[in-house]
Amino acid sequence: MTHELRPPWDEDPDDLYEHAPCGYLTTLPDGTIVRVNQTFLTWTGFTRGELVGHRRFRDLLTSGGQIYHETHYAPLLRMQDEVHELALDVVCSDGRQLPTLVNSTLSRDESKQPRAIRTMIFNATERRQYENELLHARQIAEASERRVRVLQQIVADLSAAPTEAEVAEAVVRAPESAFGAASSSVYLVDGERDLIYAVVSTDPTTGNWDDMPRSSDRAVARVAERGDLHVVNSVAEARSHFPDLVESMRRSGRNTVVLLPLTTGPTDEHSGVHTLGVLAFSFKGERKLTDGELRVVRLLGQQAGQALDRARLYDDVRRREDRAIVLAETTRALDEQHRLLPRARRVVERLLLKVTDWAEVRLQVGAAPIVESAGGPRPDDILLQQRIEKVTAAGEPIFADDGDQLDCSVLPLTARGLVLGTLALRMTPDRRGTAAERAFLTELADRAGLALENARLYEQERQIARTLQRSLLAGDLPSGDTRFALETHYQAATYDLEVGGDWFDAFLITKDKLAVVVGDVVGRGIEAATTMGQLRSAVRALASNEAGPARLIEGLDRFVERVESARMATVAYLEVDLSVGEVAYSCAGHLPPLLQAPAGSPEYLLQARSAAIGSRAGNRVRTEQRRRLPAGSRLLLYTDGLIERRTRPIDKGFELLAREFARRRDAPLQGLAAALADTMVGRDHPDDVCMLCLTLGTEERIERTIGADRMQIALLRADLRAWLVAHEVEPDCRDAVLLACSEAVANAIEHGYRDDPFGTIDVVATVTAEAVEVRVTDQGIWRGAVSDAARGRGLQLIRDSMDQVLFDRSDGTTVTMRRNRQETS
Amino acid sequence: MTEFTRGGRPVAVDRLDRWVTFSTVGDAELVSLTGEIDLANAPEIGRAIVARIETADKVLIDLTTVSFLDSAGVRLLDALIGDLDALHKPTRLVVGRTGAARMTLQLCAFREDLLATDLDRAAAELES
C-alpha cells in the first residue's frame, strides 16, 4: 500500500522510461539498438526482440531518411555530440511510415571515445500533415497566381487583337499555359451563314475541322447553343452525351474535354448571352478542374467573347471602308472610259482585281449581245445561261449559295427600271456569302448598270451623230462633167472621241459654176453634226451665180446670228467658173487651200482671208480673190486635222503637205486624198481629217505614176477612163485602151517588179482625132521570154486589143501601144 | 473610219460583196459579178465563188454589169468553167451584147456555147 502513498509526480523511473510520451532508443556508437522503450515499440509495432541487438537505428528509416542519416545525422552527432529536431520517417513493422522528430546525444567515456547514443523520438504525424497542408496551400496559391498572370497576359493580347483571327490566336494559347491542357481549338459562329467553323488549333491532327451548321448535334454546336461551359470527364461520359467526341478522344488519348462558349451579354445569367465562338481544350488522362479553375475558365470565355465582338465590329467597319473604297475607285475607273465596250471591259477588270476570280458582263444591246469576261476558270456555260435568263426575267439578283453547283452570283444590270444586261461573278472564297457582301455587290451592279447605260446612250448618240455626219458627207457630189473631177476623204479620229464638226461639200450653182467648200464647226458630238448640216444647207442656199464667195460668207455671218451653235465655224469656200477656168475664193478663219498647177511649185492660196464666221473680235471684212487656173491644176481644201500634230510645228505641217501634194502631182486623183492623209497623220490621229481635192480642166496628155501595187491599177484606170471620156473617145476604143493599159501595168507589177515592191510605173497617154497612144514604162528587170501562161494571156490581150504594140526592153520595159479610133466605122 | 464593234470583235466590212453576190434561179446557183474585175480582186472573188458553188449542180455566172475584165478575171472564169465541166455541171456565162466583159472574153476566144446574153434564157437552157 506504500506505493499508494506516493504523490502523483513521484513516478517509478522504469515505468516513466517505458511509457514516456516519446520513444527512447539507446544504441551503440555504430547504431545497434541496445535498449528501447515500450512507447516506441507500440508506435512502430516491433517487438523488443526484433530490435535489440538486431537492428541499427538507421535500418528503421526510409531510404531517403537513411541518406539523411548518413549525410547529416551521423556527422553532426559525431561533431556536436548532439542533434536536435531532425525530421526522419521511421518505417514501421507493417511498412507504414511514421513521421518523427529525432533528438540524440552521444555519451563518451573518460578517454572521450563514443560510448553510447541516446535518442528521443517524437511522433510528428500531426505536425507533418499540417506542414503538408501549408505547402499545398502555397502551391495552390502559386498556381492560381500563375494562372492569373497568364490570363492577364491573354486579356491584354485580346484587347490588342483587331481581327477575329487574332482574337482566336490569343485565346487558343490560354488553356495550355493556364491549365496545362494538351491541346485546344477555337471555333467561330457565323450568324450570317448559320455555321460554326474551326479557325485555329494548337494540334490540327486531332478533331474534326469540317464546318457545321449551328443546329448540328456535334458537341461544339450544342455548347454554343446553350452558351454554358461543359466539361466531359471521360470517354464514357462523352459517349452518352456527345458521341462525336469519342473517336478523337480515344485516338489522341484524351480523357477530359472542356467546351467553353465565348460569349457576350450578361455574365450572371445564361438567357441573354450571345455565343460568338467556342474554345475547346482537352487533357491527357483525367484532370479534375477545381471550382476556382472553372471560374477562371468562365471568365476567359467572357473576355474572349467580348474581344470577338469588338473584332467583329472592327472587321465590319474595315470591310465597309474597303467596300466603299472599291466602289468609289470603280466608279472613277469607269468614268475614265466613255465608250461602251471599254467600259464593260473595265467593269470585269476592276472586279477581278478586287473581288472575284471570274467575272462577266453581258449586255443585251444591238443584234448580238456584248460579252466581256475576265479571270477563270469559266463556270459551266449551261448552268450560267440558265441563271442569267432567270435573273434577266426577274430583274432580281441570284447569289451563289453553299453547295451551289454553279458557284456564281448573277446580278441584273439595270438602269431606269430596265434590265440592260447581267453581271455574273464568282467571289473569292473569303468574300462569299455574307449579307454585307451581297449588299456591296448589289450596289456595285447598280453603279455598273448606270455607268454602262450612260456609255450605251453615249454610244447611241455617237452613232446617231456619225450616221448624220456620214449622210451629210456622202451626199451626191457632182460628177460626169469632164471639166472637173472631185475626190474627197474623211477619216474619224482614232480614239473614240465624239464626232467632229469637219465637213465638205461640192455642188453646181449653174451648169458652168461649181462651188466647193470645206468647213469646221466648233464642238463635237451630235450638236456639231447637226450644226454642220445647217451650215451646209445655208451655204447651198446662199450660193448664187451673182453673189460670189465674199457675199456668201457675209450671208453666213448673218446666219449665225440665228444659229448660235454655228458661230466661230471656219469655212474655205471656192467657186469655179468652168467655162473659163477661173476660181474665186474666200477663207473665213480656215486654213488656206493648196494649189498645184500642172507646172511649177505648189502654192497656198493666202489671199482673201478673214475671221471665223460670226466672229466678234476678228476681222469680218469679207473679201474674195479671183484667179485663172490652167487645165490640169489641182486644188486641195482640208481641215486642220491634216496638218496639226502636237509633235510638229504648224509651219512644218504646211511644208510637208505642200511637198507631199507636189510629189503626187502625177498620181491618180482617186485615192490621192486618202494617201495624203496616210502620209500626213498616219494611223494614229487624235483629230478628224476632212479633205476635198479638185482637178480642173482636161489635160491634153495624161501622165500618171503609180506604185507597183495591183490595188493601184483600178485607181489609174479611173483617171484614164475619165480622161478618155473627156476626150470623147468611142466606147470600143476606150475599153480596148483600158484593157491593154491595165494588162501592161499588171505585167510590170507581176513580172518586172516581181522582187521590188517599191518600183514605180509611169503611164503617159495622148489622144488625137485618129488614135490613142499609151506608153507604160517600168524600171524592172526583164526576165527573158514569158513562160507564165497567165501573163502570156495578158500580153496576148494587149496585142489583140491594140493596133500597134511595141516592147522596148533596153532599160526596164517600155510598152508603147496605139489604138486607131476609126476602126469601128 | 472606226466601226462599231459587237461582242468585242470588229465587224468585218465585207468588201467582197461589192463585186460578187450569190442567189439562185430555179435550181441553178446564180453568181452575179459587178464592177471592175482585175488582178487586184480576182483571186479573192474566185475563192468566194468556189466555196459557194461546191454543192451546186448548175451554175449561172452573170457578167452583164461588169465594167472591166482583165486577164486575171479571164483566168478565174477559165478555171471555174474547167472545174465545172470536169464535174459535168452545166454552166452559162451571161454577158451583154457589147461592153468590156464581152470584149475581153471574145478577145480570149471563149466558147460561144458558154456565152448567153439573157439571164432568163440561160436559166431556161440549163433547165432543159
Domain harbouring A104, CATH code:
3.30.450.20
Same domain, A448 and A400: yes
User: Is residue A465 in some structural domain?
Assistant: no
Domain boundary (A318, A349, A384) is at A318
For range A727-736, the mean pLDDT:
90
Give the per-residue pLDDT at A494.
Answer: 62
Same domain, A682 and A550: yes
Task: Inspect the interface and report whether the beta carbons of B71 and A790 lie closer than 8 Å.
Answer: yes
- Classify residue A197 by its DSSP letter: E
Same domain, A161 and A83: no
Q: What's CA A574's distance to the chain center, in Å?
A: 56
Same domain, A796 and A727: yes
Q: Quick one: three-class SS letters along A731-759?
A: HHHHHHHHHHHHHHHHHHHHHHCCCCCCC
Domain range enclosing A151: 140-318
A742 has a pLDDT exceeding 90: yes
Residues of B in contact with A369 (CB under 8 A): 7
* Mean of pLDDT over chain A: 85
Same domain, A219 and A278: yes
Find out whether the peptide bond into A377 is cis, omega within 30 degrees of 0: yes
Give the per-residue pLDDT at B32.
Answer: 93
What part of A 742-801 touches B (C-beta under 8 Å)?
742-743, 746, 749-750, 790-791, 793-794, 796-797, 800-801
Q: What CATH number was assigned to the domain covering residues B16-127?
A: 3.30.750.24
Give the per-residue pLDDT at A689.
Answer: 87
CA distance B109 to chain A (A): 11
Extended strands (E) in A606-656: 609-610, 625-628, 634-638
CA distance A372 to chain B (A): 7
Contact A805, A815 (CB under 8 A): yes
For range A460-487, the mean pLDDT:
78
Give the per-residue pLDDT at A745.
Answer: 93
For range A562-584, the mean pLDDT:
92
CATH number at A763 reads 3.30.565.10
What part of A 323-352 touches B (C-beta under 8 Å)?
341
A653 has a pLDDT exceeding 80: yes
Same domain, A634 and A492: yes
User: Is residue A324 in some structural domain?
Assistant: no
User: Three-class SS of residue A344?
Assistant: helix
Same domain, A773 and A687: no
A435 has a pLDDT exceeding 90: no
User: Three-class SS of residue A53?
Assistant: coil
For range A35-57, the mean pLDDT:
92
For range A75-87, the mean pLDDT:
89
Task: Give the nearest chain B residue to A735 (CA atoms).
Answer: B100
Task: Give the nearest chain A residue to B39 (CA atoms).
Answer: A710
Domain boundary (A123, A155, A181) is at A123
CATH number at A272 reads 3.30.450.40
What part of A 692-751 touches B (C-beta under 8 Å)?
710-711, 713-714, 717, 731-732, 735-736, 738-739, 742-743, 746, 749-750
Residue A824: pLDDT band (50, 70, 90) is very low
Residues of A in contact with B108 (CB under 8 A): 793, 796-797
B13 has a pLDDT exceeding 50: no
What are the domain boundaries of chain B?
A: 16-127
A280 has a pLDDT exceeding 50: yes
Q: What is the pLDDT of residues A241-250, one digit of tens each?
A: 888 888 888 8
Give the per-residue pLDDT at A269.
Answer: 57
Q: What is the pLDDT of residues A97-114, one digit of tens each?
A: 999 999 999 999 888 899
Q: In degrees, to the nearest 5, what angle opens at C-alpha A36 toward C-alphas A33 and A42?
A: 125
**A370 interfacial to chain B (CB closer than 8 Å):** yes
Q: Which of A1-10, A413-422, B115-124 has the lowest mean pLDDT?
A: A1-10
CA distance A710 to chain B (A): 5
Residue A594: pLDDT band (50, 70, 90) is very high
For range A251-267, the mean pLDDT:
85
Give the per-residue pLDDT at A174.
Answer: 84
Best-predicted range by mean pLDDT (A155-164, A339-348, A763-772):
A763-772
Q: What is the pLDDT of residues A306-336, one digit of tens each?
A: 888 888 888 778 877 888 888 888 888 888 8
Give the per-residue pLDDT at A786.
Answer: 56
Residue B6: pLDDT band (50, 70, 90) is very low
Query: Total structural domains in chain A?
Result: 5
Give the per-residue pLDDT at A743.
Answer: 93
Q: How far apart are the C-alpha atoms of A720 and A725, rounded to whole Å?
A: 8
**A475 interfacial to chain B (CB closer than 8 Å):** no
Mutation target among A488, A683, A712, A743 for the B interface, most CBs of B within 10 A: A743
Q: How far apart are the C-alpha atoms of A798 and A759, rounded to whole Å?
A: 22
Same domain, A174 and A250: yes
Give the per-residue pLDDT at A476.
Answer: 77
For range A91-96, the mean pLDDT:
92
Same domain, A494 and A440: no
Same domain, A675 and A565: yes
User: Is residue A407 in some structural domain?
Assistant: yes
User: Is residue A825 in some structural domain?
Assistant: no
CA distance B3 to chain A (A): 10
Q: What is the pLDDT of residues B101-119, one digit of tens each?
A: 999 988 888 888 888 888 8
User: Three-class SS of residue B75?
Assistant: helix
Residue A664: pLDDT band (50, 70, 90) is confident
Task: Inspect the interface and report whether the beta carbons of B36 and A717 lie closer than 8 Å.
Answer: yes
User: Is residue A297 in some structural domain?
Assistant: yes
Residue owning grid cell 473679201: A623
Residue A93: pLDDT band (50, 70, 90) is very high
Give the per-residue pLDDT at A431.
Answer: 56
A304 has a pLDDT exceeding 90: no
Q: How far apart are the C-alpha atoms of A521 and A688, rounded to whole Å?
A: 12
User: Is residue A129 in some structural domain?
Assistant: no
Residue A667: pLDDT band (50, 70, 90) is confident
Q: How far apart are the C-alpha atoms of B77 and B60, rounded to whole Å?
A: 12
Helix and strand totals (H; E) in chain A: 22, 31
Task: Inspect the interface and report whether the beta carbons of B72 and A738 lie closer than 8 Å.
Answer: no
A790 has a pLDDT exceeding 70: no
**At residue A685, what is the residue type?**
H
Partner residue facing A714 (CB), from B36, B75, B99: B36
Domain boundary (A697, A728, A756) is at A697
Give the per-residue pLDDT at A45.
Answer: 93
**B1 interfacial to chain A (CB closer than 8 Å):** yes
Same domain, A445 and A587: no
Same domain, A392 and A479: no
Task: Inspect the interface and report whether the beta carbons of B71 and A797 lie closer than 8 Å.
Answer: yes
Q: What is the pLDDT of residues A683-719, one digit of tens each?
A: 667 778 889 999 887 777 888 888 888 888 988 898 8
User: Is residue A595 in some structural domain?
Assistant: yes
Residue predicted with more confidence, A510 or A441? A510
User: Is residue A128 in some structural domain?
Assistant: no
